[in-house]
Amino acid sequence: MNAKSQIREILWTRFHAENENRLKTAELNHDILKDVTRRYGMNLNDIKSAARGKMTLCKMCRVCNGETCRGLTPGPGGKGSGQTFVRNVEKLKDITLNMRVLHNDDNVDCTLEFFGQTLKAPIFAAPIAKIKANYGTSFSEIEYLEALSAGCATAGLLPFYGDGVQSEFFDLPLEFIKKHKGFGVPTIKPWINEITFEKIMRANEVSPVAIAMDVDAAGLISLKQTSTPIAFKHLNDLLEIRSKINGPFIIKGVMTVKDAELAILAHADAIIVSNHGGRVMDDGISTIEVLSEIASFVAHRALILTDGGYRSGYDVFKALACGADGVLVGRPFSHAAIGGNAEGVALYAKQLIAELEDAMRMTGCFTLKDIQRTNINLHF
C-alpha cells in the first residue's frame, strides 16, 4: 500500500469511528460525507459500509443475492419466498468464461450506440423508486435522483427512472431528465390507459432518450394494496401506448417468447428481459435462463436488454454472450447512491465498465460484436 492510500485509509477509519453512531442511526450528514470523499477519495468498500449504516431494511450483504431479504417487499427483497431474486443471482454464477489470451491486442471498445446516444458501455442503471420506503433510509428520493443522474452522467451510462402511486415518484425523475437534456429513460407503470396516456404526454415534454413501461408491475404487491388502478396490458393497449410515445418505446418485463412476439407486434424498439428483480412473481425462472431463446426469436427486430442479479462486469459479459445488447443493474446502484452519492454511483459504474473490459480482453473480444455464445459455458 502506498503512502497516499495509507493516509486515506487512516482518515476513513477515523471518519467512520467519529460518525459511527450517526451512520448507524441513518442521520449521516451528506455534506460531511461529500466533503470527506472529495478530499480523501473513497473506494467501494467505504461506500458499502457507509450504505450499511444508513439503511434499516437492506443489510447490505457481501453479495446482494436476495437471501437475507427473502420476501421483504415492500423493501429490497423478492416476492413471497424470494426465490426468483435468489435464482437470478445463482444462475449467473453457473456460467463460466472461456479464456483466450493468445492475441496481441490490449485495446477493447465497449461503447454502445443507443437510440442516438454514445454510451461508455452497454450498462444501465435500472429504474428504482421509493428509496426511503424500500430501503428504510433517511436518504430522500431527491438525493437519490441527484446521485444517480449525476453519477451516471459522469460515468457515461444511461439511467432509467421508476414510477409510483404518488405523483412525485414520476414527476421528480422528469425534472432530472430535463436537467440532463433528455439523458434518461422514464419507466411508466402499467396504470389504466387514461393515467398512462397522461404520463406519456408529460414524459414526451422532456424529450427523453426513450420511454419504457414495466408491464410486469401489474404483479407488484405494493401497487395492489393501493387504490390507484394498474392493469395487465395486451396488444391493443400496447399499440395505443406506442402511438402516443414520441421517441423509442421500451417494454420491460418480458420473460417468454410469446410476450416477446407481442412486444414486437406492438412495435417496441427494445424489450427488457426482466422479472423485476424477483419482485412480481415467486418461483419464477431467472432472466439469464430465458435470454438466449428470446434473443434468437427477436433476431434484431428490437434491441434486447436484460436485468436481474447482475453484479459485476463479468456478469454483464455473460448476458451479452447470450444475445443481449445491454444490461440494467438495479439494487447495487441504489447502494452506491445511498453510501456515496454521485461519487459512489460513478465509482461503481466505472468498476462495472473496467470489469467488462477485462472480461473482453481476457476472452479475446475487442468489440461488443465479438462477444459470442462460444465465449461462455452454461452449466445449467
Interface residue list for ligand FMN (CB under 6 A)? 76, 88, 126-129, 134, 162-163, 187, 214, 252, 274, 276-277, 279, 307-310, 329-331
Nearest distance, CB of residue 85 and ligand FMN, angstroms: 6
Grid coordinates belonging to 8: 486515506
Nearer to ligand FMN, 8 or 277 (CB): 277
Q: Name the nearest CA neighbour of 320 among 296, 304, 302.
A: 304
Q: Name the nearest CA neighbour of 88 among 356, 282, 345, 271.
A: 282
Instruction: Tell me phi and psi for residue 303, to 5 degrees.
Output: -75, 150
Size of the chain in residues: 380
Grid coordinates belonging to 250: 421500451
Nearest distance, CB of residue 251 and ligand FMN, angstroms: 11
Nearer to ligand FMN, 220 or 298 (CB): 220
Nearer to ligand FMN, 53 or 277 (CB): 277
The residue whose grid cell reads 437475507 is: 68
Nearest distance, CB of residue 132 and ligand FMN, angstroms: 10
Nearest distance, CB of residue 275 and ligand FMN, angstroms: 8
Nearest distance, CB of residue 212 and ligand FMN, angstroms: 7
What whole-number distance in Å separates Cα of residue 257 and Cα of residue 296?
9
Q: How far apart, in Å, are the Cα atoms of 100 and each of 82, 105, 149, 158, 283?
A: 37, 12, 36, 30, 37
Nearest distance, CB of residue 19 and ligand FMN, angstroms: 25
Cα dihedral sign for 188, 193, 199, 203?
positive
Nearer to ligand FMN, 128 or 365 (CB): 128
Nearest distance, CB of residue 277 and ligand FMN, angstroms: 3
Nearer to ligand FMN, 337 or 365 (CB): 337
Q: How far apart, in Å, are the Cα atoms of 57 and each of 4, 86, 129, 180, 195?
A: 35, 17, 15, 31, 31
Grid coordinates belonging to 264: 414486437
Nearer to ligand FMN, 163 or 355 (CB): 163
Nearer to ligand FMN, 210 or 365 (CB): 210
